[in-house]
Amino acid sequence: MLDQINEAVKYLQSQTDVKPQVGVILGTGLGGLVNEINITNQISYEDIPHFPVSTVEGHSGRLIFGELGGKQVMAMQGRFHYYEGYTLQQCTFPVRVMKALGVERLVVSNASGGVNEDFEIGDLMLITDHINLFPGNPLIGKNIDELGPRFPDMSDAYDVGMIELAEKIAGELDIKVVKGIYAGLTGPTLETPAEYKMINILGADAVGMSTVPEVIVARHMEIPCFAVSIITDLGVEGKIVKVSAQDVIDVANEQEPKMTKIIKELIARV
């Protein structure tokens, strides 16, 4: 893995002079934040050694380098998912590359289904914790000591300071936010009513198919993380309706400007 990371880093450094301070991973239908970046370089995943390729609608598949909120950033416009057939190690490989390039903080977004009965479609949920319901962990296997410890502590997976700052920013911008726990499952099916109920009983407020592996790997390397979900559908008894991928993208697109305002200001202030 170290050789693969180094090869990817060497290639990217040959393509850009940007030394990223913040890494950003943009979820389904949430690639519009890129429009706020003063872009220096755009690099297709296909051109980067050892990078997987996005195969999902709503994920563009480009690595963006530039400036946002006064910080040098690298943004993934499209991420990788376990359900695409990639291993959890492959899904999280870009986070390893981010660290090697100098990224000091990670900001993650996703679209998710709300299982908290107080949530509404379109809510922005600041993630305070997660439950890993993937059939594995991206750290399984021989530990690479140069990257992080064998048994990383996950008691502060999501940075409290960044959560509090995002809440403050949302208040200043008069944008409603909620807080909650995110459960990560494999997909690609959306959950059954019984599964939604189980996820809520387990203590989660929202469920999705990403983020957890990426945050685990980031914390393995001691990168502070901030994550936000846009609640695109509800898995609450009596409110469950048939949902398509396009429905999810439509809600994400509609609410994205609010999320973008918060993230841009958060990056400027951290």
Average pLDDT, the chain: 94
Q: Which of the residue ranges 42-46, 50-54, 106-110, 229-233 would you say has the lowest mean pLDDT?
A: 50-54
Residue type, 102: G
- Residue 30 clears pLDDT 80, i.e. is over it: no
Instruction: Find the domain containing 25 and state its range.
Output: 2-269
Residue 42 phi/psi, 5° resolution?
Answer: -125, 125
pLDDT in tens, 182-199: 999 999 999 999 999 999
Between residues 217 and 33, which one has the greater pLDDT? 217
CA-CA-CA-CA torsion sign (112, 116, 122, 125):
negative
Instruction: Give CA angle at 254 (262, 23), nearest 5°.
Output: 40
Strand (E) positions, 120-217?
124-132, 177-184, 206-208
Which pLDDT score, from 0 to 100, does residue 240 have?
A: 87
Percentage of residues of the chain with pLDDT beyond 90: 86
Q: One-letter amino acid identity for 192?
A: T
List the end-to-end C-alpha distance of the chain, in Å, as a whole number: 30
Cα distance between residue 2 and residue 10, in whole Å:
12
- Predicted confidence at residue 248, as pLDDT, reads 87
**DSSP single-letter state for residue 202:** H
Query: pLDDT class for 241, splitting at 50, 70, 90?
Result: confident
Domain count, the chain: 1
Pairing of strands 71-77, 22-26: parallel
Q: How far is CA 17 from CA 10, 34, 74, 92, 251, in A?
A: 12, 18, 12, 23, 36
pLDDT tens, residue by residue, 56-91 = 665 568 999 999 999 999 999 989 999 999 999 999
The enclosing domain of 18 has a CATH number of: 3.40.50.1580
Give which of 111, 102, 107, 56 is closest to 79, Cα–Cα. 56
